[in-house]
Amino acid sequence: MLVGPTACGGDTSIPPPKASSDSSDARVAGATTTVDKLAEVLRSADRSAATSLGLAGSRDLLGAVAENVATLHIVDIGFRLVDDAAPAGTDDLEDYGPNAWRGTVDVEYRLRDWDVKPTQVETTFVFAPTDTGQAVVDIGGTEGRTPVWLTGPVTALSAGRTLVIDRSAGADRFLRLARKALVDVGRVLPDWHGKLVIEVPESEDGLERALGATAGQYANIAAVTASVDGSLVRSSPVHVFINPQVFAGLGRRGSQVVISHESTHVATGATFASMPTWLLEGFADYVALVHANIPVSTAASQILSRIRKDGPPDHLPTTAELDPSANGLGATYEEAWLATRFIGREYGEAKLVRFYYAVSDGTDVAHAFTTVLGTTEAAFVKQWRADLRDLAGGMAG
């Protein structure tokens, strides 16, 4: 910032030097060369060459990234500097000096054995000048998306159709949960033979960075299924991402329900579906719970308590009622599950699956009630309310 004349003795302060366009161009050129070289050495998983592109504080990170490439069989790697306008954060300046700066890098990669299409995201890189150019001193920030494999050493475990990429020291547990989830999904959707990738960041902050989310967006969410690049293009890779802080508070049965629920989203392509949230989430819970041997009184304790107090709902849950910020969200999720559970019990599981896919493929819900279930939404709600009364013990409405 330029400083204007002072009022003392008529003197004029001298503005600090401003970077010339030549120096700015040199900075960009140096960083471009560095990220090009980093992509090149990562394609051969060359740890030594990768570490040479950092400074003392970042060599372990770059070495871990190279090892992750080898471990995960990451291919089609490409880096391209697309923006150099972002100032470095206070921590960056303290750690790497006053000339550290942030650049946005277009990152492209593919998990060779797991993803059909490459992922392309914009990720923050932090650079600092050296005698010969620009060094990578950190990767990741609150802007864009930061893939988990670029944030530090990961543990990778796979078995059959399942891969776990873990930074939380819980890979064995997640692999067991994932393998059981495939069994749960297969019992309801036997024709699905796809693959399941679970990514476990080191922290909730790591989850937010992986998904380009705002701070606190997933504070109450144990896991989320999302396209890795954030797009709604159906060929985009879709993985399950874990919030390690929330997930750590789940018991054995609860953690299995969460992973089986999210695996159902992967199997059905729910990330790209346009349908009522009650059906999207209720069906995933149906798959996770139908063979879980958890009593309804336990799995639906919140909604049954609410029904005993206020009576059964007179409509299917709305999208607003299932918004993450809505009051009583847990009870409303259980309500959505009980709606799909009632379809399965009253009309049969095969018709529930047909109903779900009909709506997923674009059929209007009201039309699907008629063509698939042979009823109307109003008639269904009336029957469902009676079922809810029975489940709640006949104590309300």
Domains and their CATH numbers in the chain: 21-150 (3.10.450.100), 154-267 (3.30.2010.30), 273-397 (no CATH)
Query: Hey, what amino acid is at 141?
Result: G
What confidence score (pLDDT) does residue 365 get? 98
* Angle at alpha carbon of residue 247, lines to 244 and 248, rounded to 5°: 80
Q: How far apart are CA 383 and CA 397, in angstroms?
A: 13
Q: How far apart are CA 154 and CA 302, in angstroms?
A: 37
What confidence score (pLDDT) does residue 345 get? 98
Q: How far apart are CA 200 and CA 178, in angstroms?
A: 12
Cα–Cα distances in angstroms (integers) from residue 356 to residues 13, 38, 184, 247, 299, in the given order: 71, 46, 17, 28, 22
Q: How far apart are CA 117 and CA 106, in angstroms?
A: 16
Strands (E), the chain: 74-83, 101-111, 119-129, 134-144, 155-159, 162-166, 196-200, 223-227, 238-242
What confidence score (pLDDT) does residue 25 get? 86
How many other C-beta atoms are found inside a 10 Å radius of the C-beta of residue 1? 5
Q: Which phi and psi angles does 198 have, rounded to 5°?
A: -115, 125
What confidence score (pLDDT) does residue 23 get? 65
Q: Is 203 helix (H, G, I), strand (E, B) or coil?
A: coil
pLDDT tens string, the chain, 397 residues long: the values are 322 323 334 443 334 344 445 567 899 999 999 999 999 999 999 999 999 999 999 999 999 999 999 999 999 999 999 988 666 777 777 778 888 999 999 999 999 999 999 999 999 999 999 999 999 999 998 899 999 999 999 999 999 999 999 999 999 999 999 999 999 999 999 999 999 999 999 999 999 999 999 999 999 899 999 999 999 999 999 999 999 999 999 999 999 999 999 999 999 999 999 999 999 999 999 999 999 999 999 999 999 999 999 999 999 999 999 998 889 999 999 999 999 999 999 999 999 999 999 999 999 999 999 999 999 999 999 999 999 999 999 544 3
Q: Is 214 exposed, middle or buried (0-12, 13-18, 19+ CB in 10 A)?
A: exposed
What confidence score (pLDDT) does residue 98 get? 87
